[in-house]
């Protein structure tokens, strides 16, 4: 069922919109409708127009999203404008959902606030990082979150949730798919700026050394099994899959939990390779790999 017309908003609305630039893989089909919300009122108006049968989703920069070649039959919401803002007061940074995660890390470092360094080198938006509880072994963004602002769907009302009202786990947030995360408050602590900047650079150098930044990707494809305790990369490597290709989709020899787009891979190539890796790892280790990336659209059947 189509959404009602949004005649009372200046929001940019694009029908039959390409989603290629909204996936880290740089491929994928089209959405029925793309809404680009610049203000909280615009977003509230848009969500308020949805009926209970409408299909919708929110995309940031798509660094964790594989978009189907068949596209998405529904509405994609992209946040911009006011949703990119950040501000700091004492040891707290208030950051909106479309703000860049690297810019948040830089701001914290510039202010001499420590606690966010482990996020250095992770691309994408803050909202997406909250949705998937981004992090590294031993540290997750939920560790430094104090409050989260959400827009309720349905209902189209804003509310602020304390961290105790949200369940987090390994690459999990209970708000995923139920509300639109529009911002959060991050609590850090005062530190020595030179040491903070040094740690940020160490994280950046390590990621650059170990990860295939030269190709389009969506980062780690699979969660680490056993609640994060068994490295997926180890299982993939032991299965002899480094460098395996389907079309221009490749298991990166540099980091085997990355599937990269060498040049012109279609989403179907990447999805076929994902299924192949899962099957081979199951055969060789008995472990079931779960996706860390998000699938959007039609045609991802096993």
Q: Looking at 114, 267, 292, 294, which residue is catalytic?
A: 292
Q: How far apart are CA 150 and CA 181, in angstroms?
A: 4
- As a whole number of Å, the CA-based R_g of the chain is 19
Whether 292 sits among the annotated catalytic residues: the reply is yes
Cα–Cα dist 245/256, whole Å:
12
Owner of token pair 């299924």: 275
Spatial neighbors of 125 by CB under 8 A, at least 6 apart, are 60, 61, 79, 97, 98, 99, 100, 101
Angle at CA 27, nearest 5°, toward 177 and 136?
55
- The Cα–Cα gap between 223 and 233 comes to 9
Q: Is 245 a catalytic residue?
A: no
| Rounded-to-integer distance, Cα 263 and Cα 244, Å | 15
| Lookup: tokens for 300 | 């991802």
The one catalytic residue in 171, 252, 267, 294 is: 171
Q: Given 220, 252, 267, 294, which residue is catalytic?
A: 220
> The dihedral of CA 214, 216, 219, 223: what is its sign?
negative
Active site residue 220: yes
The alpha carbon of 252 is separated from its chain's Cα centroid by a whole number of angstroms, namely 20
- What is the DSSP secondary-structure string of 110-156? HTTEES-GGGTT--SBHHHHHHTT-EETTEEGGGTEEEEEEEETTT-
**What is the set of active-site residues?**
171, 220, 292
């Amino acid at each position: 069922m189509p959404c009602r017309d949004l005649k009372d908003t200046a929001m940019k609305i694009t029908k039959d919109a390409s989603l290629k630039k909204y996936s880290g893989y740089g491929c994928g089909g089209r959405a029925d409708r793309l809404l680009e919300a610049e203000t909280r009122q615009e977003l509230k108006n848009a969500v308020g127009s949805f009926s209970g049968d409408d299909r919708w989703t929110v995309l940031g920069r798509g660094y964790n999203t594989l978009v189907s070649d068949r596209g998405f039959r529904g509405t994609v919401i992209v946040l911009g404008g006011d949703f990119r803002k950040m501000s700091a007061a004492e040891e707290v940074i208030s950051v909106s959902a479309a703000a860049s995660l690297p810019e948040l890390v830089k701001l914290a470092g510039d202010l001499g606030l420590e606690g966010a360094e482990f996020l250095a080198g992770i691309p994408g938006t803050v909202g997406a990082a909250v949705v998937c509880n981004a992090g590294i072994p031993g540290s997750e963004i939920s560790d430094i979150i104090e409050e989260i602002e959400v827009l309720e769907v349905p209902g189209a009302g804003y509310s602020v949730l304390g961290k105790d009202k949200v369940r987090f786990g390994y690459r999990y947030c209970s708000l995923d798919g139920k509300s639109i995360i529009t911002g959060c408050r991050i609590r850090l602590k005062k530190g020595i700026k030179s040491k903070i900047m040094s740690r940020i650079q160490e994280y950046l150098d390590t990621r650059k050394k170990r990860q295939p930044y030269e190709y389009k990707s969506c980062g780690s494809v699979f969660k680490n099994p056993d609640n994060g305790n068994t490295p997926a990369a180890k299982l993939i490597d032991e299965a002899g899959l480094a460098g395996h290709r389907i079309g221009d989709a490749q298991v990166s020899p540099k980091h085997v939990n990355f599937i990269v787009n060498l040049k012109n891979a279609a989403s179907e190539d990447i999805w076929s390779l994902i299924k192949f890796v899962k099957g081979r790892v199951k055969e060789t280790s008995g472990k079931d790999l779960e996706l860390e990336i998000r699938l959007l659209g039609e045609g991802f059947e096993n």
